[in-house]
Amino acid sequence: MVRDLQIVEEPRRPVSMDPKKFALWLFIVTIIMLFAAFTSAYIVRQAEGNWLDFSLPTIFYWNTGILLLSSVTMQWAYNSAKRDDLKNIKTAISLTIVLGICFLISQIFGWGMLVDAGVFFVGNPSGSFMYIFTGLHGVHLISGIFFIIMVLIATVKYNVHSKNILLIEMCNTYWHFLNALWVYLFIFLLLNR
C-alpha cells in the first residue's frame, strides 16, 4: 500500500518589530513628511518672487561639524553597549549630550547673525522659512537630547548592556536620523538660497 506523500509547509513567521521601535519609525516618518512639506512649500514660494537672497551664517558650517561629531560619539556609545563597556557608554553619551547642547547654543548665535544681516522671522518669506527650518529641527534635537539623557540614566542604573540594548539602539537611530535631517536641510538651504 502506497501512502500519499503530503508536503506540509512550515507556517511562516510574521515579520515582527518591537512596538516601541515601530512607534519610533512612525515618528521619524512623520518628521520626514513634515520637512518634505516645508521644503516643497519653500520651493513653490521661492518661485513666486519677492525672495530675499542671503548667505547662511558661517556658524551653520561649524554646527554641521558639531552634529556630525555627535553622531560619531553616539555610535561609539552604541558599540560600547554591545560590548558591555559601561565606562565608554557613559563617556560617549555624555559627549553626545554636550555636543548636542553646543549645536543648539550655536544655532541661537546663528539666529543672531541672521538678525544682524537683516534676515528676520517676519518680513520676507525666505527668512521665515530659515527660522522655521532651524527652529523645528532644534525642537526635535531637544527631544533627542532628552532621549539621550534617559539612556544615560538607564546606563547608570545598569539597564543598558548587551542583553538589553533596545533603548540605546532606538536612541542611536533617532540621533542619526536628526543628524541626517540637518545635513539635508543644510545642503537644501545652500542650494536653494
Question: What is the DSSP secondary-structure string of 38-87?
Answer: HHHHHHHHHHTS-----PPPTHHHHHHHHHHHHHHHHHHHHHHHHTT-HH
Mean pLDDT score across all residues of the chain: 92
CB atoms within 10 A of CB 126: 19
Query: Domain for residue 87, yes or no?
Result: yes
> Is 18 within the bounds of a domain?
no
Read out DSSP for 152-191?
HHHHHTT--BTTB-HHHHHHHHHHHHHHHHHHHHHHHHHH
pLDDT at 51: 87
The H or E element containing residue 102 is helix 86-116
CA nearest neighbour of 24 among 176, 184, 187:
176
Q: CA-to-CA distance for 134 and 32, rounded, in angstroms?
A: 14
Mean pLDDT for 184-188 is 95
pTM, full prediction: 0.89
Q: Which domain holds residue 63?
A: 59-191
Is pLDDT above 60 for 1?
no
CATH of the domain at 76: 1.20.120.80
Tell me the per-residue pLDDT of 106-131, one tens digit each, with 9 for 90 and over: 999 999 999 999 999 988 899 999 99
Q: What is the mean pLDDT of residues 20-31?
A: 96
List the one residue out of 144, 55, 49 whose CA is nearest residue 103.
144
Q: Residue 22 domain-assigned?
A: no
Is the model's pLDDT at 52 over the cut of 90?
Answer: no
Examine residue 129 and state whether it is found in any structural domain, yes or no: yes
Is residue 173 situated within a structural domain?
yes
pLDDT average, residue stretch 12-20: 78
Does the residue 106 lie in any domain? Answer: yes
Residue 15 pLDDT > 70: no
pLDDT in tens, 130-184: 999 999 999 999 999 999 999 999 999 999 888 999 999 999 999 999 999 999 9
23 found inside a domain: no
Instruction: Report the amino acid identity of residue 137.
Output: H
